């Protein structure tokens, strides 16, 4: 079974946020970093009013200086540009939205730096080669409290045979029809 050679994506679970003929945009859900929300907000001169230990995840290798948020969509009503990724699941990358969320962080909040991106047809080609397994996702996986176990749980709920699951196959989750 072919595998993606990029170590960034070994056993990664990527939430596909946008997919069309021009390409695909997603964020890695299961790569914690040592950065905390407090650290991030301090560098942006914002006050973080949530748990001091709230972590920031690595969203992917593209533009690691960019920040992205996944959250309960109701938490940022009127805060700016928020994309509904699935029912009740908001996605944003604006400082205005972070400013609102930092003041009263919802329980369901994922902060990420960087993203994963594919050009036209690239993800489809890599999927045909067997490097990716695209599966229907559930919004709950986005906020899984144990990022280290997310990949194994996602493989277990798919139809990937166990021999393939023991390799470095990567899971791309979609919450919308492709």
- The DSSP line for 115-140 is EEEE-TTHHHHHHHTTSEEEEE--HH
Domain annotation for the chain: domains and CATH numbers: 7-174 (3.40.1740.10)
Residue 148, H or E segment: helix 147-156
Side-chain half-sphere exposure of 31, counting CA atoms within 13 A: 22
Report the pLDDT value the prediction gives residue 170, as an integer from 0 to 100: 61
Report the pLDDT value the prediction gives residue 160, as an integer from 0 to 100: 54
For residue 21, give the nearest of 127, 121, 134 by alpha carbon: 121
Calculate the dihedral angle through the C-alpha atoms of 142, 118, 101, 34, rounding to the nearest 10 degrees.
70
Residue 145: Cβ-neighbour burial (10 angstroms; 0-12, 13-18, 19+): exposed
Residue 70: Cβ-neighbour burial (10 angstroms; 0-12, 13-18, 19+): buried
Terminal C-alpha separation, the chain: 24
Within the chain, what is the greatest distance between any pair of CA atoms?
49
* pLDDT tens for the 178 residues of the chain, in order: 345 567 788 888 999 999 889 999 999 999 999 999 999 999 999 999 999 999 999 999 999 999 999 998 888 777 778 988 888 889 999 999 999 999 999 999 999 999 999 999 998 888 888 788 787 777 778 898 888 888 888 877 766 544 444 444 566 665 544 4
Residue 32 and residue 36: Cα distance in Å, rounded? 10
């Amino acid at each position: 079974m072919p595998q993606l050679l990029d170590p960034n994506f070994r056993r990664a679970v990527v939430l596909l946020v946008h997919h069309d003929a021009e390409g695909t945009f997603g964020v890695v859900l299961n790569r914690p970093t040592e950065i905390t929300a407090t650290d991030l907000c301090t560098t942006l001169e914002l006050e973080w009013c949530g748990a001091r230990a709230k972590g920031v995840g690595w969203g992917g290798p593209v533009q690691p200086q960019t920040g992205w948020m996944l959250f309960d969509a109701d938490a940022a009503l009127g805060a700016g540009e928020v994309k509904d990724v699935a029912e009740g699941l908001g996605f944003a990358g604006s400082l205005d939205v972070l400013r609102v969320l930092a003041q009263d962080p919802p329980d369901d909040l994922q902060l990420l730096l960087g993203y994963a991106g594919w050009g036209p047809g690239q993800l489809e080609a890599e999927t045909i080669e067997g490097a990716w397994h695209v599966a229907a996702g559930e919004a709950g996986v986005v906020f899984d409290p144990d990022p280290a176990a997310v990949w194994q749980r996602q493989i277990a709920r798919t139809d990937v045979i166990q021999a393939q699951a023991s390799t470095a196959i990567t899971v791309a989750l979609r919450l919308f029809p492709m």
